[in-house]
Amino acid sequence: MKITFLGAAGEVTGSQHLIETETKRLLLDCGLFQGRDSETRPKNERFHCDPRHVDCVILSHAHIDHSGRLPALYRAGFRGPVYCTRATADIATMMLRDSARIQEEDARYATKKREAGEPKICPLYSEDDARKVCRSFEYVAMGEWEELASDMRLRFRHAGHILGSAICELDLLEDGQWKRIVFTGDLGHRDKPLLIDPETVERCDVVITESTYGNRVHRDAGDVKAELLRVVSETVSRGGRVVIPAFSLGRTQVIVYLLNQLRNENTLCRVPVYIDSPLATRLTEIYRDHQQDMDDDVRTTLRFDDDVFDFDGLTYIRSRDESIALNRVEEPFVVISASGMCENGRVVHHIKHAIRHEQNTILIIGFQGRHTLGRQLVERRDTIAIFGRSCERRCQVETINGLSAHGDAEDLRWWFENLQRRGGAGKAFIVHGEDTAAAALSQLIADCCDESPIVPQMGDSFEI
Binding site for Zn ion (CB under 5 A): 63, 186
Nearer to Zn ion, 169 or 186 (CB): 186
Hey, what amino acid is at 37? D
Cα pseudo-dihedral 406, 415, 432, 455, rounded to 10: 160
Asked if residue 280 lies in contact with residue 336, where contact means CB atoms within 8 angstroms, the answer is yes
Within 10 angstroms of residue 362's Cβ, the number of other Cβ atoms is 26
Closer to Zn ion by Cβ: residue 27 or 229: 27
Q: For residues 88 and 376, which CB has a smaller minimum distance to Zn ion in the complex?
A: 88
Q: How far is CA 435 from CA 8, 31, 359, 455, in A?
A: 11, 19, 43, 8
Residues paired with residue 294 on neighbouring β-strands, in sequence order:
none
CB of 406 to Zn ion, least distance (A): 7
Nearest residue (CB) to Zn ion, 261 versus 404: 404
Those residues with Cβ within 8 angstroms of residue 330's Cβ, 6 or more apart along the chain or in another chain: none
What is the b/e burial string over 38-55, where b = at least 16 CB atoms within 10 angstroms of the residue's CB?
eebeebbeebebebeebb
Residue 390: Cβ within 10 Å count = 11
**Smallest separation, CB 280 to Zn ion (Å):** 17
17 or 63: whose CB is closer to Zn ion?
A: 63
Q: Rounded CA gap, 69 and 48, in Å?
A: 13
Smallest distance from Zn ion to CB 423, Å: 27
- Sequence-distant (6+) residues with CB within 8 A of 382 are 392, 393
Taking the complex as a whole, the smallest distance from the CB of residue 185 to Zn ion amounts, in Å, to: 7
State the minimum distance, in angstroms, from the CB of residue 119 to Zn ion.
Answer: 34
Closest CA to 245 of 359, 163, 367: 367
Measured from the CB atom, is 40 or 315 closer to Zn ion? 40
Q: Considering the complex, what minimum distance in angstroms separates the CB of residue 79 from Zn ion?
A: 26
CB half-sphere exposure, 87, CA atoms < 13 A: 30
Report DSSP letters for 404-416, one per residue. -SS--HHHHHHHH
The Cα 91–Cα 47 span in angstroms is 24
Nearer to Zn ion, 68 or 71 (CB): 68
Identify the CA nearest to 208 among candidates 459, 453, 14.
Answer: 453
Min dist CB 250 to Zn ion, Å, is 9
Least CB distance from residue 374 to Zn ion, whole Å? 19
Least Å distance, CB 66 to Zn ion, is 6
Q: State whether residue 167 is helix, strand or coil.
A: strand
Q: How far is the CB of 167 from Zn ion (least distance, A)?
A: 12
Cβ proximity to Zn ion: between 171 and 186 the closer is 186
- Residue 31 CB, nearest distance to Zn ion (Å)? 9
Nearer to Zn ion, 63 or 179 (CB): 63
Residue 9 carries which DSSP code?
S
Let me know: does 72 contact 124? Beta carbons within 8 Å. Answer: yes
Q: To 5 degrees, how large is the angle CA 432–CA 438–CA 442?
A: 130
DSSP reduced 3-state for 39: helix
Residue whose CB is less far from Zn ion, 63 or 393: 63
In the complex with Zn ion, the residue whose CB is nearer, 11 or 55, is: 11
